[in-house]
């Protein structure tokens, strides 16, 4: 992450500044010479920072996993010093044993290589003083015929040995990965499959210097253009099925999905997957393709692989309970397929039209073939129809299955397949739920023949199948074990049905119409063997973060109960083996089960954790942590305690030794795990909040709590300021100077508290919570009466003043997170209305039209602090404010003798405010 994502962020910052310099000098986008001569302040600052980084050797020790790569980077610089040139094969075979102790590579060498690969630096960095030990002797002997990227670049064919080497070793440069991309687009069918495997190997997972290009290449390969000579009746995508399947399987692990997310490529990947889902989901599995391994591949398999990834991209693992838990409508999602396409289209429509984009293209591949046309859901009628059914299933109970239709026949066939041994019970349950009579099946072969239909047709009937199966289990017609086995058979037949299973069971749990079942170990699996231990561990775990919930039970004789749909889902997950083939299914099922269990009455989630801890003991810590998170869904007081712990830890106000120094380290700690002595280590409050904030039921009360905690923290900071000053006054005659230093330190801590508060607001509720804060919470706080604070003899009301500045930093940071500082991003369009409303309140209070309940020093510090931050940091915000409001603000500032700030505010208000600014300057001069 540090070497890939962070370097890309730096590249974007540099490109943004230098593109503005190009525009200012009227540089033509077609004049690369002028571009190359434009070096901005950020790039120079980056170079200086990286040069100074060498002074901090203790921070640069590489993790064991990247020692060999760091050594290669150091060797590359040494060879550059010596003037020798060697092929890439030399660096590929370098190991830590080949490196003398006096020239081993470190993290700075890796960072420099990452910057060079992105055109942020050139090879002159190798000549920096102290970068490498130029006296080191590097052996020049290279084993002959070492298979690797150098062999590929020299023209070696893709033999099995070379393919394995390229899959296991990340490419070191863009030309190498471009070579693989060319093979994937122009090679033979076998070569294309091999190239797809290489792209999804180490270059994707560990190739931080070329990871962005690899991600884009994979997305491009999933969207091949229609060949010019293609004239078939079916989609041209069908012929690429084996090739697509290699790519889809390669990117399906959750770590790979996270890489696409970190690079901001989720909308683009979703746009590439939807056509595959539409085409292969509409194709009956009458034929198959034979893979090089001899395995048969069907259209159902390709569809399921693409569809499962698509579900993970739009957070399908959290429907619909996540929305119910947050007191929102359970229908719809912010990250729906429609939303992903809108984001994709917006990104692509604006790309390539600015100097910044032109600079960005320079570090992209010139051979990259990417579809820039907008895509809409109407282009995928089957996907759109399924999504509507998915929303309908969430919103209401099932209805509308008509006897004799194709869907009804598929439902019968699926039930017979799932419950072959008890076919009569399954048929009876169908009649119960659909009012129809089932036709009998004539064996397994007949069932499979009847199910050789497109995947979309099977998904359409899947909710009715699940409804029939669950109803049959509730009425005792099928046993719980038979239900779990049948669900597993359905998921194995078409893995894409896992999405429907999650959606249906989640909706049924949310509706609360099913009676809970007793997890007694006979009908359903029992958690009683370790449930009491898990509950005790949960209580101990959250207590370590400073949270005490007395009502949290640690045992008891009450039976372990789960809602029927949740019990069925848990039983299904337990049937999976922990192997690579089941990973994708568990990645989809696991988060959904956790979200579902967390929303149900306590202790449903501990029951689930206890069941899984019995199956996989090494997961005990993670399962306990998952259950501990749900405490904050059930108990609002626990949320307030956790927020308090976050503030005390960050500001060093906690008596705990671990948190006494404060800072981000105390807030976020070092994770959790059993690798610490004495068992599971206590998790820090920040990590606990990061992992539990999504489970909090009511987020609207959060802003008031965070403001209250911020004000309390300021009081504590001021209190310590007085204590420190008094102690230093006793020791020195220069008390005033020490007091000034302490006040500066206090302001730094106040800013830290404001930053934490803004981060918590943005993290908890996003844009809506920020807008509620600025429009409603802050004005209400200023109007409400507050008890005067004793400032312990500090002149001018230090506590009140610090509170005003804290609120100013807090409000501006919240707005920055939500709207940005520019006027280009879509989020900035929502800024004018909220900002104008807030400043209208401020102006009205300055005009005397609103009576305030807060201290005068707090109000003055807030107004001057807020305006100063706008003038100094968020210039574009001023343009969003009504000119009349700006004039009233400037008049109020003049009454406080803040003429310079008033002029600066009007000066940024655009042409309409310029006249007023000029008049003000004349008045001041007179």
pLDDT tens, residue by residue, 487-543: 999 999 999 999 999 989 999 998 889 999 999 999 999 999 999 999 999 998 899
| pLDDT of 734 | 43
In a domain, 689, yes or no: no
Q: Are strands 289-290 and 296-297 parallel, antiparallel or unpaired?
A: antiparallel
In a domain, 353, yes or no: yes
> Is residue 739 very low, low, confident or very high in pLDDT (cuts 50, 70, 90)?
very low
CA distance linking residue 902 with residue 886, whole number of Å = 9
Is residue 793 scored above 50 in pLDDT? no
| pLDDT of 89 | 52
CA distance linking residue 830 with residue 807, whole number of Å = 22
Comparison of pLDDT for 325 and 590, the residue scoring more: 590
In a domain, 56, yes or no: yes
Residues 6+ apart with CB under 8 A from 181: 195, 199, 217, 220, 221, 365, 367, 368
| pLDDT of 683 | 82
Residue 889: its H or E element: helix 883-895
- Statement to judge: residues 777 and 808 lie in one domain: yes
- Statement to judge: residues 204 and 320 lie in one domain: yes
Comparison of pLDDT for 839 and 370, the residue scoring more: 839
In a domain, 444, yes or no: no
> Is residue 826 very low, low, confident or very high in pLDDT (cuts 50, 70, 90)?
confident
Of the listed ranges 126-130, 324-328, 803-807, the one predicted with least confidence: 324-328
Which parts of 435-496 fold into alpha helices (H)? 444-450, 455-474, 480-493
Beta strands in 181-297 (DSSP E): 289-290, 296-297
Burial annotation 872-894 (CB, 10 A radius, 16+ → b, else e): eebebbbebbbbebbbbbbebbb
| pLDDT of 92 | 56
> Is residue 423 very low, low, confident or very high in pLDDT (cuts 50, 70, 90)?
low
| pLDDT of 788 | 62
Is residue 274 scored above 70 in pLDDT? yes
The tally of CA atoms less than 13 A away on the side-chain side of residue 687 is 19
In a domain, 196, yes or no: yes
Residues 6+ apart with CB under 8 A from 580: none
| pLDDT of 252 | 93
- Statement to judge: residues 541 and 609 lie in one domain: yes
Tokens of 629: 């998170």
CA distance linking residue 828 with residue 877, whole number of Å = 9
CA distance linking residue 228 with residue 924, whole number of Å = 73
> Is residue 671 very low, low, confident or very high in pLDDT (cuts 50, 70, 90)?
low
Q: Among 233-237, 303-307, 556-560, name the most confident range.
A: 303-307
Domain boundary among the residues 317, 348, 378 is at 378
Q: List 290's β-bridge partners, or say none.
A: 296
> Is residue 136 very low, low, confident or very high in pLDDT (cuts 50, 70, 90)?
low
> Is residue 906 very low, low, confident or very high in pLDDT (cuts 50, 70, 90)?
confident
- Statement to judge: residues 480 and 534 lie in one domain: yes
Short-list 270, 147, 271, 249, CA closest to 201: 249
Q: Is the distance from CB of 39 to CB of 146 less than 8 angstroms? A: no
- Statement to judge: residues 373 and 404 lie in one domain: no
* Structure confidence by residue, pLDDT tens digits, 610-645: 999 999 988 888 899 889 999 998 899 999 999 999
Short-list 357, 383, 147, CA closest to 282: 383
Is residue 220 scored above 80 in pLDDT? yes
In a domain, 588, yes or no: yes
Is residue 911 scored above 80 in pLDDT? no
* Interval 890-912 mean pLDDT: 86
The tally of CA atoms less than 13 A away on the side-chain side of residue 98 is 20
* Structure confidence by residue, pLDDT tens digits, 61-116: 988 888 888 888 888 888 888 776 555 555 555 544 445 444 578 999 999 999 99
| pLDDT of 679 | 53
Comparison of pLDDT for 160 and 141, the residue scoring more: 160
Tokens of 393: 């299933």
- In the predicted model, what is the mean pLDDT of the chain? 83
- Statement to judge: residues 121 and 171 lie in one domain: no
| pLDDT of 437 | 38
- Statement to judge: residues 502 and 368 lie in one domain: no
| pLDDT of 655 | 61
Secondary structure (H, E, C), 21-80: HHHHCCCCCCCHHHHHHCCCHHHHHHHHHHHHHCCCHHHCCCCHHHHHHHHHHHHHHHHH
Domain boundary among the residues 602, 626, 650 is at 626
| pLDDT of 462 | 95
Look-up of token digits 């405490």: 631
| pLDDT of 435 | 40
In a domain, 669, yes or no: no
> Is residue 664 very low, low, confident or very high in pLDDT (cuts 50, 70, 90)?
confident
| pLDDT of 96 | 44
Is residue 728 scored above 60 in pLDDT? no
Residue 246 belongs to domain spanning: 161-226+235-325+333-378
* Interval 123-147 mean pLDDT: 73
| pLDDT of 101 | 46
- Alpha-carbon torsion angle 216, 220, 222, 224, nearest 10: 180
Is residue 684 scored above 80 in pLDDT? yes
| pLDDT of 145 | 55
The number of domains in the chain is 4
> Is residue 727 very low, low, confident or very high in pLDDT (cuts 50, 70, 90)?
low
| pLDDT of 130 | 87
Residues 6+ apart with CB under 8 A from 550: none
| pLDDT of 426 | 42
In a domain, 367, yes or no: yes
| pLDDT of 730 | 52
Domain boundary among the residues 576, 609, 626 is at 626
Comparison of pLDDT for 359 and 665, the residue scoring more: 665
Is residue 367 scored above 90 in pLDDT? no
| pLDDT of 59 | 87
Q: Provide, rounded to the nearest whole percent, the portion of the chain with pLDDT above 90.
A: 47
Question: How many angstroms separate the first and last alpha carbons of the chain?
Answer: 59
* Structure confidence by residue, pLDDT tens digits, 394-422: 888 888 788 889 999 999 999 999 998 66
- Statement to judge: residues 200 and 247 lie in one domain: yes
Short-list 810, 637, 640, 791, CA closest to 710: 810
- Statement to judge: residues 596 and 703 lie in one domain: no
Is residue 323 scored above 60 in pLDDT? no
Of the listed ranges 131-145, 747-761, 774-788, the one predicted with least confidence: 131-145
- Statement to judge: residues 706 and 848 lie in one domain: yes
- Statement to judge: residues 501 and 595 lie in one domain: yes
Phi, psi of 659 (to 5 degrees): -110, 5
- Statement to judge: residues 709 and 808 lie in one domain: yes
Q: Among 32-36, 276-280, 691-695, name the most confident range.
A: 276-280
Is residue 590 scored above 60 in pLDDT? yes
| pLDDT of 705 | 94
């Amino acid at each position: 992450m540090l070497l890939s994502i962070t370097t890309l962020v730096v590249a974007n910052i540099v490109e943004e500044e230098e593109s503005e310099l190009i525009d200012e000098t009227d540089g033509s986008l077609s004049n690369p010479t002028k571009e190359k001569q434009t070096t901005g302040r950020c790039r120079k600052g980056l170079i200086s920072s990286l040069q100074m980084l060498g002074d901090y050797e203790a921070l640069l020790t590489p993790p064991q996993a990247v020692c060999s790569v760091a050594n290669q980077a150091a060797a590359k610089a040494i060879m550059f010093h010596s003037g020798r040139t060697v092929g890439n094969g030399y660096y590929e075979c370098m190991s830590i044993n080949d490196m003398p102790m006096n020239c081993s590579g470190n993290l700075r060498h890796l960072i420099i290589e990452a910057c060079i690969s992105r055109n942020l630096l050139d090879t002159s960095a190798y000549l920096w003083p102290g970068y490498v030990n130029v006296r080191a002797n590097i052996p020049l002997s290279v084993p002959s015929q070492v298979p690797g990227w150098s062999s590929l670049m020299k023209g070696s064919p893709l033999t099995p040995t070379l393919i394995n080497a390229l899959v296991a070793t990340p490419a070191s440069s863009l030309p190498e990965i471009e070579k693989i991309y060319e093979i994937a687009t122009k090679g033979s069918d076998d070569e294309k499959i091999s190239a797809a495997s290489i792209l999804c190997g180490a270059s994707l997972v560990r190739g931080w210097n070329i990871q962005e290009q690899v991600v884009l290449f994979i997305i491009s390969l999933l969207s091949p253009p229609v060949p010019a000579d293609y004239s078939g009746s079916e989609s041209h995508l069908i012929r690429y099925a084996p090739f697509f399947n290699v790519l889809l399987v390669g990117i399906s692990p959750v770590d790979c999905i996270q890489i696409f997310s970190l690079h901001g490529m989720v909308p683009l990947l979703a746009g590439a997957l939807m056509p595959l889902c539409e085409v292969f989901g509409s194709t009956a599995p009458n034929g198959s393709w034979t893979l090089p391994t001899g395995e048969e591949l069907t259209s159902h398999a390709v569809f399921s692989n693409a569809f499962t990834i698509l579900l993970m991209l739009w957070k399908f693992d959290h429907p619909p309970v996540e929305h119910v838990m947050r007191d929102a409508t359970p229908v719809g999602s912010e990250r729906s397929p429609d939303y992903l396409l809108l984001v994709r289209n917006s990104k692509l429509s604006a790309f390539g039209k600015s100097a910044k984009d032109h600079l960005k293209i320079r570090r992209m591949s010139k051979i990259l073939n990417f579809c820039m046309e907008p895509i809409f859901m109407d282009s995928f009628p089957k996907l759109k129809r399924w999504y509507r059914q998915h929303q309908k299933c969430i919103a209401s109970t099932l209805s509308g299955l008509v006897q004799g239709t194709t869907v009804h026949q598929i439902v019968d066939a699926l039930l017979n397949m799932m419950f072959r041994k008890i076919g009569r019970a399954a048929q009876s349950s169908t009649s119960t739920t659909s009012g129809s009579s089932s036709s009998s099946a004539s064996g397994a072969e007949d069932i499979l023949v009847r199910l050789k239909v497109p995947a979309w047709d099977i998904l359409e009937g899947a909710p009715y199948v699940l409804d029939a199966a669950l109803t049959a289990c509730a009425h005792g017609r099928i046993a719980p074990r038979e239900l779990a086995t049948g669900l597993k058979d359905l998921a194995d037949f078409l893995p894409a049905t896992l999405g429907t299973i999650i959606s249906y069971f989640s909706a049924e749990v949310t509706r609360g119409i099913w009676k809970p079942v007793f997890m007694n170990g006979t009908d359903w699996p029992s958690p009683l063997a370790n449930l009491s231990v898990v509950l005790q561990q949960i209580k101990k775990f959250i207590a370590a973060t400073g949270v005490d919930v007395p009502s949290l039970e640690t045992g008891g004789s009450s039976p372990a109960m789960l809602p029927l749909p949740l019990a069925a889902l848990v039983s299904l997950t337990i049937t999976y083996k922990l192997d690579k083939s089941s990973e994708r299914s568990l990645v989809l099922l696991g988060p959904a089960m956790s979200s579902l269990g967390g929303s149900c009455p306590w202790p449903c989630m501990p029951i689930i954790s206890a069941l899984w801890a019995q199956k996989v003991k090494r997961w005990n810590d993670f399962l306990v942590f998952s259950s501990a998170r749900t405490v904050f869904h059930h108990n609002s007081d626990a949320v307030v305690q956790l927020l308090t712990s976050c503030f005390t830890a960050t500001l060093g106000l906690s008596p705990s030794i671990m948190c006494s120094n404060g800072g981000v380290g105390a807030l976020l700690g070092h994770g959790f795990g059993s690798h610490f002595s004495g068992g599971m280590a206590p998790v820090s409050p920040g990590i606990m909040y990061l992992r539990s904030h999504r489970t909090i039921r009511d987020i609207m009360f959060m802003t008031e709590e965070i403001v209250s905690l911020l004000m309390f923290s300021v009081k504590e900071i001021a209190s310590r300021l007085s204590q420190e000053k008094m102690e230093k006054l006793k020791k020195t005659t220069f008390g005033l100077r020490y007091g000034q230093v302490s006040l500066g330190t206090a302001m730094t801590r106040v800013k830290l508290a404001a930053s934490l508060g803004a981060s918590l607001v943005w993290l908890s509720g996003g844009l809506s919570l920020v807008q509620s804060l600025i429009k409603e919470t802050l004005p209400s706080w200023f109007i409400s009466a507050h008890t005067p604070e004793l400032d312990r003899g500090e002149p001018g009301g230090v506590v009140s003043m610090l509170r005003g500045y804290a609120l100013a930093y807090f409000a501006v940071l919240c707005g920055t997170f939500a709207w940005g500082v520019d006027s280009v991003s879509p989020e900035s369009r929502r800024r004018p209305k909220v900002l104008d409303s807030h400043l209208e309140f401020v102006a009205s209070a300055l005009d005397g039209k609103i009576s305030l309940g807060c201290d005068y020093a707090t109000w003055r510090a807030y107004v001057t602090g807020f305006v100063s931050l706008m003038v100094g940091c968020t210039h574009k915000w001023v343009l969003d404010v009504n000119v009349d409001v700006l004039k009233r603000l400037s008049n109020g500032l003049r009454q406080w003798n803040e003429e310079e700030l008033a002029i600066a505010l009007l000066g940024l208000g655009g042409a309409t405010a310029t006249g007023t600014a000029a008049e003000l300057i004349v008045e001041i001069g007179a």
